[in-house]
Amino acid sequence: MLTVQEITRALHAIGLAEGMSVVVHSSLSSLGLVEGGADAVIDALLDAIGEAGTLVLPTFTFPPDPVFDPRTTRSSTGLIPETFRKRAGVRRSLHPTHSVAACGLLAEHFISGHPGATALGMDSPLHRLALAEGCVLLLGVQHTSNAMVHVGEAIARVPYLDLPYSDAFSVSIPVRLPAGGEVIVPPKENPGCSVNFNVVEEPLKRRGAITYGKVGDADSQLMRATDIIDVVGELVSINPAALLCDIEWCPFCPRARKLVEL
């Protein structure tokens, strides 16, 4: 059984350090058996970055709820974010489909203003984390879970930025405010398909931007968010369809390709 201390040591070995801002995409089961489960992984992440660090976990909601309530709407991104968002002192951004949960020094700065901003684009929490020289940790998952690639698509202004992934993402969704009342959040640059996102790994590797390591049994990668955004910009400047998948029945990519070819 993995302990909190063993996980913290492994996180340090991969390069996670005091004072870092980090967004973590994770699969709890990929680590193997963890004493204390999701809470132990969260404790280890917080230990590794210390009091001056900021931990951000995606608490996205697919498909969206008819009304988003940051206190009760479940996240669809796994047990670690779902456990984290319920902890005392953790704040959740007020976005109906792409909320994040955060705690630490820059948490408030990252999550504030999300209802008026884009899901994962300009001025979203993940974009703010990138601007603050934050990192992305893939804990037992691949770049197909790396939402910073979507931030890169938005910064690069790919032609399919305003195309909704599906009908469920094309409507305005009310968000319940913690202080009472609601705000309606219209969809703005909601991200598309991420099936082909592993194409960013080779160019990132070539720049020496990725540190690889194991956390328990989980193959993991740490990199700077701005390196991902730069690589996405380079890929789509050569081929604007570089990040789209080839799956015929994908609800998004065949429609997005048509916009690219215009």
242 binds Zn ion per the rule CB under 5 A: no
The minimum distance between CB 83 and Zn ion, in angstroms, equals 30
Stretch binding Zn ion (CB under 5 A), from 56-64, 151-159, 210-218, 247-255: 247-255
The neighbour count for residue 124, using CB atoms within 10 Å, is 27
Q: Please, which residue, 83 or 97, has the CB nearer to Zn ion?
A: 97
Residue 113 φ then ψ, to 5°: 85, 5
- Looking at this protein, which amino acid is placed at residue 188? K
Three-state DSSP state, 253: helix
Asked if 245 interacts with Zn ion (CB under 5 A), we say yes
Rounded distance, CA 138 to CA 126, Å? Answer: 14
Q: How far is the CB of 194 from Zn ion (least distance, A)?
A: 8
Alpha carbons 7 and 34: distance in angstroms, whole number: 9
- In the numeric block, the tokens 């931007």 are attached to 209
When binding is defined by CB under 5 A, the residue of 120, 135, 138, 250 that contacts Zn ion is 250
Of 35 and 246, the one with the shorter C-beta distance to Zn ion is 246
**What does the per-residue mask of binding to Zn ion show for 159-198, with x meaning CB under 5 A?**
----------------------------------x-x---
Instruction: Compute the least distance from the CB of residue 252 to Zn ion, in Å.
Output: 5
Question: What angle in degrees, to the nearest 10, is found between the helix axes of 148-155 and 225-238?
Answer: 50
Q: Which residues have C-beta within 8 Å of that of residue 47, sequence separation ≥ 6?
A: 4, 8
Residue 185 identity: V
Total of chain residues touching Zn ion, rule CB under 5 A: 5
Q: How far is the CB of 260 from Zn ion (least distance, A)?
A: 13
Which residues are at the interface with Zn ion (CB under 5 A)? 193, 195, 245, 250, 253
